[in-house]
Amino acid sequence: MLAFVTVGTTSFNDLIREVCSDQCLKALKKRGFKKLLLQIGRGTFIPDTTSKILDVEYYKYKNKIIEDINKADLVISHAGAGTSLEVLTAKKHLLVVVNDNLMNNHQLELADQLQKEGFCYYTNCQNLAEYLSTINLSDLKPYIPGNPELFISFLDEVTGIKSLST
């Protein structure tokens, strides 16, 4: 099984450092994971790829990470809206890790709402190992994306575009 960690285009050294800790690696192994793949973005913390606990690989960026998301059994992610929705739309289990160092942390609001809806779990770096040991991924509900055509149609009506083209 594969756990994929992504921080997007940001730097989130605390998440990468914590998920690579022996405690987190052991929690993942206990859940049956064999490999940890990390997308570290602009981070300066370089993961140790010689772990005896799990096979660990990393890279900084790829044009598209959807291939890695699709291969993953669990995605551990920063709380970026785009990344969260991409993972949920791919119907993957998601554990969001909120960056407590951000000011005016809108990511916390998003993560909290997604958890309230039952689509993901969220935590912070300090509690990551505990969450990896205790969460029940089968309790998560599948995310069903909205219909963007309905929204576009609504906007067309409100702005009068639809009446002009008919």
pLDDT digits (tens, 9 = 90+) for 62-89: 988 999 999 999 999 998 888 998 999 9
2 within 8 A of 34, measured Cβ to Cβ? yes
pLDDT in tens, 9-19: 889 999 999 99
pLDDT in tens, 144-159: 877 666 656 666 676 6
Rounded to an integer, what distance in angstroms lies between the CA atom of residue 116 and that of residue 84?
Answer: 14
Query: Which structural domains are found in the chain, ordered by start?
Result: 2-141 (3.40.50.2000)
Evaluate if residue 133 carries a pLDDT over 70.
yes
Q: CA triplet 106, 112, 117: central angle to 5 degrees?
A: 130
Evaluate if residue 166 carries a pLDDT over 50.
no
**Which region, left, alpha or beta, applies to residue 104 given φ > 0 means left and ψ of -120 to 50 means alpha?**
left
pTM (two decimals)? 0.85
